[in-house]
Structure 1
C-alpha cells in the first residue's frame, strides 16, 4: 500500500515539474535546443549545450510579431450633460462655501465633528484655518470659468 502511495506522489511530483517546465518555456524567447547525452537521456534547454550537437527548435506562434497596443482614445469634448452637471456642482459648492464663511465671520459658535455628541468647539486657530479654506473654495467654485 505504501508503495502505491509513494508511486502516486512520484507521479504527482513529476507532473508538477513538467508543468513548471512548460510554464518556464513559455517565458523564453521561443528558441530551444534538444540534445541527447551519452546515456541516451534527451534534454531540452534555452541555451545550446557546450560540447554537444543540438537540434534547434522554435515554438509555434513565436515568430509572429506581437500586436502593438491600441492607441489611446482621442480626447472627446465634454457633453452638454457633463457641462450641466459640473455647473450644478460648482453652484452647490459655491453656495456651501459662502454659507460656511458667513457663519465663521459672524463669530458664532462653530463646532466640528460628524455627530453632536462628539463635536468640539473650534478654537481661534481652527476658526482661522476654516475661514481660509472657505475663501479658497469660494475662489475655486464661485469664479466663472473655473472648473472643479
Structure 2
C-alpha cells in the first residue's frame, strides 16, 4: 500500500510538468495583455516558459585571502589577526543563534496565552501580567541585540 502511494505521488508530481503546454502572450489593439494556449491569428505573440526554475548553486566561498605585506613582514601580528577574526566569526554565530532562540521564545509568548513555567520544582501557570512583562523584555532584548 505504501509503495502504491509513493508511486502515485511521484507520477502526479512528474505529470504536472509533462502536461504543461506552450503558453502564448500578446497585447491586443486596446493595450490589454492576453495569455492563451493558442497563438492569435494575425498578431505576433511571445511564448512564456512554464517550467519550474532550477535553483542556482550557492557561490563558493574563497578559502583564504592573499597574504598582505604586513602579514609577511610580521607573522606574529598575522597570527593575532587570524585569531581575532575567528573570535569575531564565533561571536557572530553565537549572536545569530541567540537571536533565533529569542525570536522563537517571543512567538511562543505571543501565541500561547496559557504558558506554564517551572519555578523551584513547582509547575505553575504564568499570569497575563507576567506574560506581558516577558513579552516586553523579549522584544527589548531583540531590539538591543538583533538586527
Q: Please, what TM-score do these two structures have when normalized by structure 2?
A: 0.40
TM-score (norm 1): 0.40
* Structure number with higher relative contact order (C-alpha < 8 Å, ≥ 6 residues apart): 1
Of the two, which has the highest radius of gyration? 1
